[in-house]
Amino acid sequence: MRMLRVAACQIDPVVGDLDGNADRIVSAWCAADRAGCELAVTPELAVTGYPPEDLLLKPRFVDDNLESLDRIARATRNLQCVGVIGFVDREAERLFDAAAVIERGVKLGVYRKHLLPNYAVFDEERYFEQGPLTQRVFRVRGVPVAVLVCEDLWQPEPAQEAARSGASLIVSLNGSPFYRGRLVEREQVVAQRARESGCPIVYVNQVGGQDELVFDGASMIVSGDGTLRARSPQFVEDLLVVDVEVAVSTNGEHPEPDAEHAGMVDGEMAPDGHPGVADLLDPDEEVYEALVLGTRDYVRKNGFTDALVAMSGGIDSSLVAAIASDALGPDHVHGVGMPSRFSSEGSWLDAEEVARRLGIDFRIVPIEQVHAAFLSTVGDQAREGAVGDQASHGAITLAEENLQSRIRGVIIMFLSNQNGWIVLTTGNKSELAVGYSTLYGDTAGGFAVIKDVPKTMVYDLCRYRNRRGSAAGGEDTWVIPESILTKPPSAELRPDQRDDQSLPPYEVLDKILEAYVEEDVTVSELVDRGVDPALAGRIARLVDLAEYKRRQNPPGVRVTPKAFGKDRRMPITNGYSGRRHDRPHT
């Protein structure tokens, strides 16, 4: 038996920041060396950041990535610790998602990813060639170590081949994005691969936000019997240092592993002498933390310091303001209320109260004069196209409703331009799914924080955030007042407007949307599940018609298994209805 001290370097790289990523890798590797580690493992494509997407089509970018790997090797040549570093390898014109094994400045060899995911948000076959299934096993201080990359661990063959090749330990480099419940799935897969191969597995995942993706980290060490022995916390950078006991054969046969081992977490021995297993976050907490991290990294990695939120006193904008405050700090968040003649006094008092409890800047910019000026300018054209009661009784037209939202969009973009603040939009997944939003109005902005959060989940997240309390303290223990949680949802663009006048209750709508959007069922299948045929057809039609709007929306954090955007790529021009065709064939 042999004890091998291993470090899982859970870092937050920035796509394309080759110099910065090299510094992050060297820093983590040096910290692992100071902790007495013999092996340090980084996430997948740590040099380039993951996913680099079409940067890979630039030959110079690939050249620079290779130069960065050489720089990392030179910077660590005096370390005793061996490093496994994710990078882009090249052979002729072919690219590979790869990992280099480096010892004292020398590249011992390279592993090339065998399985390339080409589903959901992944399109690696667009860029990379497949590495061979059978690849070399590296000896690290006498221990045979196999290297796998991400998808390689989701199918049995690569890990089994590593064991057949004599590996006593498997290290896996990962760029596995978060969605709700994903960590449980990962741990089940890693445990299964460990049992099948008989090898302990060091699973290293990156952390941080990259456009709409969030990586939650949660790197782990699993023993050869599938037992979880150590786990990094979610959503923060971490150096997980563990002494892994592995079996080393002297006769060339693959030995039976011993699951016992001791270890350290972040360089400090746990009280019982064993590595720490960070607690799992509950479902609402992990989604909330994903939204916070995704917002923080998008804002800061793109060079902004402050964010602006249009606050209406509704539940969506209140949640976005809370997330922004937690992500950037209250001093870097600015709320603006833009009341019209249809805005209730209670709504703006609620918005002010949320801002006060969060400790953020808040200002009021009324839009009534601007709205009146617009209507006066267009004159009689404001009534053109109005039909029925709208035309005969002077009721508020849909165009006039949307004009208010578009005026607000102009104002918030002016404030953004004037102050250099990024605008965080407030639309949720339920609204965006059915097009219950105004193009160039409430969709105007730089980042859509809750665009993948269904309305029913919005309420859950608000209640979770209230349980954490507010900075104001005292009686103001809730960030989001009860009045906001209980008021009927409304856009307040016409007198007495409520969402349920246009949409079914969100408890009903969200279940239909989950089936139609995330499970890809058809209208006929919705009906088979008990949904009223007229309602099923109407909601499906609204989702399909709103595709052109969603294409123009800003990116936002992905927290469900299928988000609008990379996950779901539906044609805008689409003649498929999904209804059952009962006409006989002729």
List alpha helices for 280-344, DSSP H.
283-301, 315-328
User: Is 113 known to be catalytic?
Assistant: yes
How many CA atoms lie less than 13 Å away from 507 in the CB half-sphere?
1
3-state secondary structure string across 220-232? EEECCCCCEEEEC
Helices (H) and strands (E) in the chain, counts: 17, 21
Q: Are 416 and 446 within 8 A, CB to CB?
A: yes
Distance, CA of 263 to CA of 452 (rounded, Å): 39
**Catalytic member of 9, 37, 113, 187:** 113
Q: Are 238 and 10 within 8 A, CB to CB?
A: yes
User: Is 562 known to be catalytic?
Assistant: no
Which amino acid, 372? Answer: A
Distance, CA of 35 to CA of 14 (rounded, Å): 26
Which amino acid, 221? Answer: I
Q: Are 178 and 262 within 8 A, CB to CB?
A: no
Distance, CA of 393 to CA of 67 (rounded, Å): 72
Element (H, E) at 112: strand 106-112
Give the CA dihedral 482, 486, 489, 491, nearest 10 degrees: -40
Q: Are 309 and 408 within 8 A, CB to CB?
A: no
Q: Which residues contact 83 (CB under 8 A, 6 or more apart)?
A: 25, 29, 39, 40, 41, 42, 72, 76, 101, 102, 103
**Catalytic member of 37, 81, 150, 199:** 150
Nearest to 299, CA basis, from 420, 206, 409, 414? 420
**Catalytic member of 44, 103, 151, 212:** 44
8-state DSSP, 215: E
User: Is 384 known to be catalytic?
Assistant: no
Residue numbers annotated as active site: 44, 113, 150
